[in-house]
Chains A and B, each alone.
Chain A
Amino acid sequence: MKVAVVGAGPAGIRAVEQLLRAGLTPIWIDESPDGGGRIYQRPPAPLDRSARTLYGFEARKASRIHDDFEHFSHLADWRPATLVWQIRRAGPAIELHCQSDLRGFTCEQVDALLLCTGAHERIVPIPGWTRPGVTTLGGAQIAMKTQGCAIGQQVAFVGTGPLLWLVAHQYAKAGVSVPLVLDTSPFTNKFRAAPAMFATGPATLLKGLWYTASVRRRAARVCEGGWPVRIVGDQAVEALIWQDQSGREHRTECDALALGWGLQSEARLADLAGVAFAHDAAQGLSVPQFDRTGRSAERGLYSAGDSAAIGGADLAEQAGARVALALLEDVGQSFDQALSRVLDTSLARHWRLRAAIDRAFPAPIGRAAEMPDETILCRCEAITAGELRAAAGPLAATGRAVEINRAKAFSRVGMGRCQGRMCSSAAAEVLAAHHQVALNQVGHLRAQAPVRPIPILAAPPPSAPPVEGSRP
């Protein structure tokens, strides 16, 4: 029985723990040289800071994750700094195509695959978003957490979700000037969702209240229910023009800006492996189909953590353990049934908490549909919303394209190096609105191998030295 786990974040670590307990030695792969995932990412060695400074309230959890990772990585077949760039079926087996600087190109055949590949941020492109000085919320946090840097001297935070308030708090606390926090979700949403959050996750709610209170105290201005209009500046950010809830326009001076509207699953490997996708109305996104235990309809394919459904780090740890037990059950191995029952109960409560958080910070569905024609939609290929509308619209020479893969072929939107990670949700909304169809009619932007750029030189034989020189 050969099993591979892709991803060494909270879900991957707990999945590997259960597989090791059952006597298996999984191949364990992460693109990063270290474990912990993005949430518990550690700075490079020369930056020496205590877990308390780095992770705040989550310091103990982070230390436990890192200690467990160190332990399990010695017991499993750990492959750091390795990219899985393609997955194929080979009869009943699953074929993983990998690339790393150390080993070059390799291929692994496994009987079962657990994908714990995490998430990336959901972005609504606003005029000026490609300018130097604009990052995602996660990017702004990584700069602070792993490099000890702020992305500017006066940093505005725009978007919605817990991460918006957390990163704004971290910057303000570090002494960075925060001229504006613009949460596009109205206060009333949070107020209405608060009782359900309190009932299912009181500690999470209290932490959230602590961060928002800190931000309200330290930021020059906080607005809820508004919307960003455009980023002003030429080679750098100078200001943000934004609207408040009543539609009045304001200008806030800033030299950097962080954007983000929650997370979306990083499920391109699941897509290549044949997992089905379906439209999720609450998120307005096409999402991979895994059940609550992490099973897919495809034999031997599992996923847990944010790559299966967005739930955050605490949920990911439990889902990681649960999916490993599901795998063991499916192959007829003995597994800890008591633990699986405990996890199912706890996971159900966590999912209710997550649903309440999503009501407090609703997805910005339909907001990208209003993008001005001249605004860049696909930042890799520098294609504007207007160019997509023209290339896929009813008057296009190639004929109309409602379906997103067809529209990609006609416009190149989503064809660049990031493979639509930054723009696909916005492109779907622009297409649906332009053709006046429901968002679910646009379909799902299919993943293509390689899921990230790899060196273009042909794969060398195993004995050859690693490939030098890479091109996207």
Chain B
Amino acid sequence: MRYIRIRDTARRSVRITVDGASVEALEGDTVLTALLTSGSGWLRNSEFGDGVRAGFCLMGACQDCRVQITGRGSARACATLVTPGMEVTRR
């Protein structure tokens, strides 16, 4: 599962880390976009053992895209923009 960049690809690149590994994102990406376009494939494990999740509504309502961001705690990946050096951890 992978999001595909269609437009607006001429943007400055921003490096973040996902579970310790370096990932290249673009300025203006949400954390969700950065992870799902770069092949991460998912954002979180369901706490109830039914598998991985990758968000659903993308507008801050469903809360199913929560990831851990160093210095911020739990945040919605769909509503958080990447910043250089941001450390994202998936649970």
Contacts and interface: CB of A to CB of B under 8 A. Distances in A.
A31 B26 CA distance: 24
A470 B75 contact: yes
Given A147-B29, A417-B63, A152 B73 contact: no
A121 B57 contact: yes
B51 A130 contact: yes
B20 interface: no
A379 B30 CA distance: 22
B3 A150 contact: yes
Nearest to B66: A472
B54 to A, nearest CB: 3
B21 interface: no
A421 B61 CA distance: 7
B56 A135 contact: yes
Contact of B58 (A47, A143, A148, A422): A143
Given A143-B58, A144-B6, A470-B72, A46 B52 contact: no
A236 B60 contact: no
If over half of A's interface residues share one DSSP class (helix, strand or loop), that class is named, otherwise mixed; here it is loop
A132 B41 contact: yes
Interface string A119-162: 01100000000111111101110111001111111000000000
Contacts of B63: 380, 416-418, 452-453, 472
Interface in A458-472: 468-472
Interface string B48-91: 11111111111111111010000111110010010000000000
B46 interface: yes
Interface in B5-25: 5-9, 11-12
Interface stretch (A10-18, A37-45, A431-439): A37-45
If over half of B's interface residues share one DSSP class (helix, strand or loop), that class is named, otherwise mixed; here it is loop
B49 to A, nearest CB: 8
Given A453-B63, A468-B72, A147 B30 contact: yes
A379 B29 CA distance: 26
Interface string A362-384: 00000000000000100111100
- The CB with the most chain B CB atoms within 10 A, among A47, A53, A120, A143, is that of A143
Nearest to B37: A149
Given A148-B8, A148-B9, A138 B58 contact: yes
Given A147-B30, A152-B1, A235-B52, A142 B59 contact: yes
B86 to A, nearest CB: 14
A49 interface: yes
Nearest to A416: B63
A48 B59 contact: no
Contacts of A135: 55-58
30 contacts: A43-B28, A46-B12, A53-B7, A133-B54, A135-B58, A139-B56, A139-B59, A147-B28, A147-B33, A148-B5, A148-B7, A148-B8, A148-B9, A149-B5, A149-B33, A150-B4, A152-B3, A174-B7, A176-B4, A234-B51, A236-B1, A237-B1, A256-B1, A382-B48, A382-B50, A468-B73, A469-B73, A470-B74, A470-B75, A471-B73
